[in-house]
């Protein structure tokens, strides 16, 4: 985590609100097909790349948690430090900075698939930084369109037809790319990292 808080782009709050509203609408349309619930942690196991806007948002959430619940915040930091220590060996990038090397993308596919997210409280199964979680976490579960087509969590939409799944698609605005570019220019922070590296003090 950076020593000084970095200002997020003005549009970041709007992006989060849009995605939260889209998820709520998708959940309403999906009903029992969308089984994502507090305590379901399958998507919290295994590392994934986050951009610098995600990292800054997580840092902001951790700073807020340090004020509201210092003990819980310290537990997050300790989990992150432990994770960074374990992840540094064989890290597909620079373990000193936590930045992933795009040239080692192939190695990343098989890297630390059993590592729990540092923000996950293992005793409750809840995310301690849920409000400021990365974009990947915000769109995982419901049907979301990518280059590969319409993807859903393997635990969800059992018994639903392709048409029913498509009717529940969660729209994702293209605002994130624009905000990331703005943030990279204003902060000088570039590249992808992991949640643990963003949270380890």
Average pLDDT over residues 67-93: 96
pLDDT in tens, 113-157: 999 999 999 999 999 999 999 999 999 999 998 888 888 999 999
Quick one: CA torsion of 94, 78, 69, 197, rounded to 10 degrees? 10
Q: What is the pLDDT of residue 198?
A: 96
49: tokens are 């790349």
Is the pLDDT at 2 greater than 80, yes or no?
Answer: no
Interatomic CA distance for residues 177 and 175, integer angstroms: 6
Interatomic CA distance for residues 20 and 50, integer angstroms: 19
pLDDT in tens, 171-200: 988 888 999 999 999 999 999 999 999 999
167: tokens are 């009717």
Give me the residue spans of the domains in the chain: 11-180+191-199
Give the SS3 label for residue 82.
helix
Compute CA distances 105 → 50, 91, 92, 113, whole Å: 13, 11, 8, 14
Percent of the chain with pLDDT over 70: 98
pTM: 0.91
**CA atoms lying within 13 Å on the CB side of residue 115:** 24
Q: What is the pLDDT of residue 109?
A: 82
Q: What is the pLDDT of residue 106?
A: 81
């Amino acid at each position: 985590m950076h020593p000084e808080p970095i200002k997020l782009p003005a549009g970041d709050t709007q992006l989060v609100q849009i995605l939260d509203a889209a998820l709520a609408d998708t959940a309403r349309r999906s009903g029992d097909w969308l089984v994502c619930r507090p305590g379901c942690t399958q998507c919290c196991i295994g590392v994934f790349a986050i951009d610098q806007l995600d990292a800054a948002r997580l840092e902001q959430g951790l700073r807020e948690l340090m004020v509201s619940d210092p003990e819980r915040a310290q537990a997050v930091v300790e989990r992150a430090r432990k994770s960074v220590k374990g992840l540094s060996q064989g890290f597909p990038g620079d373990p000193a900075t936590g930045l992933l090397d795009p040239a080692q993308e192939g190695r990343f596919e098989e890297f630390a698939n059993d590592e729990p997210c540092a923000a996950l409280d293992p005793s409750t199964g809840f995310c301690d930084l849920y409000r400021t979680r990365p974009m990947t976490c915000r769109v995982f579960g419901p049907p979301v369109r990518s280059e590969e087509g319409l993807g859903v969590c393997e635990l969800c939409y059992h018994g639903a037809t392709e048409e029913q799944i498509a009717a529940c698609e969660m729209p994702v605005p293209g605002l994130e790319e624009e905000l990331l570019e703005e943030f990279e220019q204003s902060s000088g922070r570039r590249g992808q990292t992991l949640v643990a590296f963003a949270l380890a003090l």
